[in-house]
Structure formats: structure tokens, C-alpha cells
Amino acid sequence: MKSNKKGAKSRAGTSLPLLKQLAARPEKLFSGAFRQQYGAVCFRYRKGSPDTDRLEIEVLVVTTRDSGRWIIPKGWPMKKKKPHEAAAMEAWEEAGVRGTVSKQPVGRYTYLKELDDGDVVPCIVDIFQIEVEAAQSEFREVGQRMLAWVSPDEAARRVRELELKSLLVDFRPRPGRGRRKKKG
């Protein structure tokens, strides 16, 4: 069931596919004009099958507000926020989750972002892991996105970006070094 998305724009039939737009202006890829974003791989542990005490990892994926495709929480840099703090803020605003965030990125991926004006820009997303300790049902973008807790393999199947797929398939939380508690 899809959520009712306020402010979602229908772009069907109004623009060329992203790669065709970029192919028409290849200088964007080679001019070093990549835009920076910060993302969060939000995870939690759950008990595995009843016959084992083993804990399994679940990863949070969310849908975009406009197209409904699956992604991880991410966004633009924020004034007066360090990159890991911006990633944690995006996780809160887009999914209502808080937890322990790594100060160092666990990976990065690139993708093509269609801006509100229809222009396309290549983006680099530095990813920070967040071990989720609390989830709220009321948050900034509630009703505008769907959320799903899935295995890392399933998360990789749902997202489109190849580099992100690889990171999710291979995702194993890094130990506590360099982490800090996210206040909220």
C-alpha cells in the first residue's frame, strides 16, 4: 500500500530519463561538479530462528517522496552539522529513528539526482552507520514515505544504485570505535 505523499510531483512524460539528460551534457560528469550528500545505513539486531540464539541484522529502507523507489535516508549537508550529524538528522526526519551513529563513513556511492527544476546532477553520498535504538511513529516526513526493515540482501535487491547494492549486500556493522550516542 502506497502512502499519500504531500507535495509529490508527477514527472511522468515531462522529462527525459536521467541518463539521457546527462548524456546530452557530459561535461557535468567530467567537470568535477559532483554534489555532496550524507546518508545513513540504519540497522538493528533481531533474534534469528527459534532454534538458534544468533542475532540477525535488519536494515531500514525508505521510499522517495516523489517516485516511491527504495533508498536509504540521505540528504544535503547542513549548516553547523558535521557529516555524521547530518546523516543522523536525515534518518530522524525521513524515518523517525535515532541511535548510535558512526563518526566515520562506512562507504560511499554515486548516483544521478534530478533536482526540482528538472536539472540532473551527479551526487556522491558518504554513508554513516546508525545502530537504531529508538523509533517514533511521529516524525517530519511521516505519511510521505514507506519504511521497511529487511535483511541486507533484501535491501540490496530493493535499491537501484549499484554501488549502494554492493555496500548493503556486504554490510556488517563496524565495532564501537569512533561511535557516539546521538542525542535527541
User: CB within 8 A of 135, min separation 6: which ones?
Assistant: 95, 96, 97, 98
Using CA of residue 145, residue 137, residue 45, residue 107, what is the dihedral sign? positive
CA dist 47 and 30 (Å) reads 47
Contact by Cβ (8 Å): 88, 40: yes
Please check whether residue 36 is in contact with residue 126, taking contact to mean a CB–CB distance below 8 angstroms.
yes
pLDDT digits (tens, 9 = 90+) for 138-175: 887 888 889 999 999 999 999 999 999 999 999 999 88
Confirm if 42 and 95 have CB atoms less than 8 A apart.
yes
Kindly report whether the global pTM for this prediction surpasses the value 0.75. Answer: yes
- Least confident piece of the model among 71-75, 141-145, 175-179: 175-179
Q: Could you read off the pLDDT of 36-69 as tens digits, one per residue?
A: 999 999 999 987 767 777 889 999 999 998 888 9
Name the strand (E) or helix (H) holding 123.
strand 120-135
